[in-house]
Amino acid sequence: MAEAERIIGTPDTPDATGGGKERPDSEGTPPGEPGNGPAAAPEASGTGEPEATAGRPRGRRRIAVLFAVAAFAYALDLISKMIVVAKLEHHPPIEIVGDWLKFEAIRNAGAAFGFGEAFTVIFTMIAAAVIVVIARLARKLYSLPWAIALGLLLGGALGNLTDRIFRAPGVLEGAVVDFIAPKHFAVFNLADSAIVCGGILIVLLSFRGLDPDGTVHKD
């Protein structure tokens, strides 16, 4: 009888009741043996690793992806602007697809696509705030699509913020270099494109219910 109670547990013991919750993985296993009690090994995650340690490497990889995407977007924007300033500024526009798409160097003191030129300092502070928020959010990032989206936002924000700080007419008031000029549309740059693509991806992820920490919720 004592042996039977030891195996299946009794209603008066925590091992049998599980604190009022069902624990199918530990049912019928006494303390000190695998699957129950303090001596049990950590639960395995879906990757075959202990759940307590599997999340941290995944989180580090997602953070690495975020900063790799940001660095790529930032470098691409910075190099393109250097070439435009050196080769295209004060020169006639270059036609890429007839009148439909041109490369034309323009200094923009406003926000993306030339909006709000009277609020240059405000847009600079907003860009800096976005960078800080993304950096803080990265600590809880476990979703690869979110890492890519935030990386695009971070790289684009850094690209335009660099112009705001280091270009004329002065610190925090610098004009951004734009050069992509589609017909009947505002002139923009690669940083603007990265920001827009990252924003669109975030909207799609939100509609799908995917959070930055990798969880999926349904409204």
15 tagged catalytic: no
CA pair distance 178, 190, nearest whole angstrom: 8
Has 192 been annotated as catalytic? yes
Q: Please, what is the end-to-end C-alpha distance for the chain in angstroms?
A: 51
Please tell me the distance from the alpha carbon of residue 107 to that of residue 173, in angstroms, as a whole number.
Answer: 12
Catalytic, out of 178, 211, 213, 219: 178
In whole angstroms, what is the distance from residue 11 CA to residue 216 CA?
Answer: 36
Residue 216 makes CB contacts below 8 A (sequence gap 6+) with: 208, 209, 210
DSSP string, 164-178: HHHSTT-TTTPPEEE
User: Which residue in 77, 192, 211, 219 is the catalytic one?
Assistant: 192
DSSP E strands, the chain: 94-97, 101-108, 176-182
d(CA 197, CA 203): 10
Whether 114 and 123 have beta carbons less than 8 Å apart is answered as no
- Just list the catalytic residues: 178, 192
